[in-house]
Copies of this chain bind each other. A is one copy, B any other.
Amino acid sequence: MIKEYLKTINTFEKELSHLGAISALLQWDQQTIMPKAASAERAEQSAYISTKIHQTFLNKKFITAVNKLSNQVNFKKLSKNNQTRIKHLKKDQDKNKKIPLKHVEEYSKLTSLSHHKWVDARNKENTKLFLPTLTKVVNLKLKEIKYLDPKGIANHPYDILLDDFEEGMTVEKIDPIFEELKFGIIQILNKIKQSKPYKTRKDILANKKYKFPKEIQLKVTNEIASLMNPDTNRFTIAESVHPFTTRISFNDTRLTTAVRENQPMFSFTSLSHEAGHAQYEMGMGKNLKNTSLQDCPTVGLHESQSRIWENQVTRSFDFWQFYYPKYQKHFPTLKSLKLKDFYESINIVKPSLVRIECDELTYCLHVIIRYELEKDLIAQKIKAKDLEKKWNQKYQEYLGVKPNKPSRGVLQDVHWSEGYFGYFPTYALGTLYSAMLWKQINIDNKQLKKQIKKGNIKYIKDWLDKKIHVHGKTKTTEQIIKLATKQTITAKPFLNYLKDKYYPLYNIKE
């Protein structure tokens, strides 16, 4: 009987992987090449597939098979991977069953409306226009928490939401880590602010004498993607407004890029970021294909793979020692710009207002501000109407800058309008994982920096494939990080990395 139940589960998971592929393709196509006038039709097609996914996931035969294999006797007889699979499926199906369909529909309608309200308020630079809908979104999220944890067993209601994105993480675990992180970054930032270079250093690349034509930027992004992912038959790149990566199927990963004519580093680092995500998708074990284990355990771990490439590799001096001559050939106006000046320019520290445009050093402060606010929102310590004031206070306090308009302040990110509470912390957690992994990979290979200088970056991909990607969802993020680094999550490696990089950049002696 176990065999038959497993067969049933395989069949449903395969169907889900086809539907997932279609859903991802509909989205990717919409963001890249779909004609503008087709938005409403595409929304209907996507909704149709979402419903099919929901129905398939909650098909009675599927649930029965999962339940049967979840009972103690059968469960023990399963392979380790199948145990993990059943555990996840059981958990997700139970979660799904707890939330009434009516709530799901109400939520889906509201967030679609809410998104439009957010766009409108953002365009009009008027936060108030968004508040009534945001309040409703928060209330529905609170209702969802109630459905999932009716007895209030969780230490913090926000933990219930975290579980969707970063399973295993809780407010209790995050709070001290983020405190240390915040304190550490602010300390470094203050030192930098007092340094001489800070007062004089400029974003040289913004000088209009340097030319970065769009076609060449696209060529460069392709070059970097192929350097990072030599198996070019398994992915493709297109343009979209916001860069992102999605897996269609096992051998089909899609990246997007966006070009800003006078900010060449935007397409460059965002591409290396996305190509890091793509490595993860393409590195999962073949044995996991078309099963629910062909996935990452948490969003934060996925993010660590993009950030390690975006920051530790492609913003490093080592990398540019290898790549800058090639880069200069692509953009001949850079001929007169020295590597040192280029490197300083692409690593300039400047507290700013917008998360997706900020520097590497201050990035996590932007994330922590959102985490602190949404945590209090879900704990009902603050209300939607308090957000803007608190937001501005925190930006002033942590970063020393003051938002001048909502689109560069509290309305800058799409997440809350779509009800994505619990997502933001994964950006910072991913950053911390990336530093832990970077520390370890340099211990495992003492020659790595030298290799990077020569353009030999294959070791990094192979190491990450072996230590992270291949596991898919067969282990938890905590297990994977522990196996790779022998540590549990901590902010220290990241803070040390920042000091090692930015103190020399700003002539600071510890």
Identify the A interface with B (CB < 8 A): 15, 18, 21-22, 25-26, 29, 33-38, 40-42, 44-45, 48-49, 231-236, 238, 248-253
Given contacts A33-B236, A233-B36, contact A41 B22 (CB under 8 A): no
CB pair A45 B33 closer than 8 Å: no
Given contacts A18-B45, A48-B15, contact A34 B252 (CB under 8 A): yes
CB pair A35 B233 closer than 8 Å: yes
CB pair B25 A236 closer than 8 Å: no
Give A289's nearest chain B residue, CB to CB. Answer: B41
CB pair B26 A22 closer than 8 Å: yes
Q: Which residues of B contact A48 (CB under 8 A)?
A: 15, 18
Query: 9 tightest CB-CB pairs across the interface, nearest first?
Result: A38-B252, A37-B251, A41-B249, A37-B233, A36-B233, A38-B251, A18-B48, A37-B234, A35-B236
CB pair B41 A21 closer than 8 Å: yes
Bound Cα distance A37, B281 (Å): 14
Q: Which residues of B contact A21 (CB under 8 A)?
A: 41, 45
Task: Quote the shortest CB–CB distance from A287 to chain B (angstroms).
Answer: 16
Bound Cα distance A37, B253 (Å): 10
CB pair B29 A29 closer than 8 Å: yes
CB pair A236 B34 closer than 8 Å: yes
Question: Could you list 25 examples of A-B contacts with CB < 8 Å?
Answer: A18-B44, A18-B45, A18-B48, A21-B45, A22-B45, A22-B49, A29-B29, A33-B238, A34-B236, A34-B248, A34-B252, A35-B233, A35-B235, A35-B252, A35-B253, A36-B233, A37-B231, A37-B234, A37-B251, A37-B252, A38-B251, A40-B251, A41-B248, A41-B250, A45-B249
Bound Cα distance A44, B289 (Å): 13
Bound Cα distance A42, B21 (Å): 9
Q: How many copies does the complex hold?
A: 2
CB pair A251 B41 closer than 8 Å: yes
Task: Quote the shortest CB–CB distance from A455 to chain B (angstroms).
Answer: 24
Bound Cα distance A232, B35 (Å): 8
CB pair B251 A35 closer than 8 Å: yes
Bound Cα distance A72, B497 (Å): 81
Give A238's nearest chain B residue, CB to CB. Answer: B33
Contact of A25 among B26, B250, B252 (CB under 8 A): B26
Bound Cα distance A29, B235 (Å): 13
Q: Which residues of B contact A35 (CB under 8 A)?
A: 232-236, 251-253
Task: Quote the shortest CB–CB distance from A7 to chain B (angstroms).
Answer: 17
Q: Which residues of B contact A252 (CB under 8 A)?
A: 34-35, 37-38, 41-42
Q: Which residues of B contact A49 (CB under 8 A)?
A: 22
CB pair A249 B22 closer than 8 Å: no
Task: Quote the shortest CB–CB distance from A49 to chain B (angstroms).
Answer: 7
Q: Which residues of B contact A40 (CB under 8 A)?
A: 251
Q: Which residues of B contact A251 (CB under 8 A)?
A: 35, 37-38, 40-41
Task: Quote the shortest CB–CB distance from A89 to chain B (angstroms).
Answer: 21
Bound Cα distance A22, B236 (Å): 20
Q: A29-B29, A35-B232, A35-B251 are in contact. List 10 more A-B contacts (CB 8 A).
A: A15-B48, A18-B44, A21-B45, A34-B236, A35-B236, A35-B253, A38-B249, A38-B251, A38-B252, A41-B251
Task: Quote the shortest CB–CB distance from A445 to chain B (angstroms).
Answer: 29
Q: Which residues of B contact A25 (CB under 8 A)?
A: 25-26, 29
Q: Which residues of B contact A248 (CB under 8 A)?
A: 34, 38, 41
Q: Which residues of B contact A22 (CB under 8 A)?
A: 22, 26, 45, 49
Q: Which residues of B contact A253 (CB under 8 A)?
A: 35
Give A28's nearest chain B residue, CB to CB. Answer: B29
Bound Cα distance A381, B236 (Å): 49
Q: Which residues of B contact A232 (CB under 8 A)?
A: 35
Bound Cα distance A37, B250 (Å): 9
Give A15's nearest chain B residue, CB to CB. Answer: B48
Task: Quote the shortest CB–CB distance from A238 to chain B (angstroms).
Answer: 7
Bound Cα distance A59, B42 (Å): 25
Task: Quote the shortest CB–CB distance from A54 to chain B (angstroms).
Answer: 15
Task: Quote the shortest CB–CB distance from A185 to chain B (angstroms).
Answer: 39
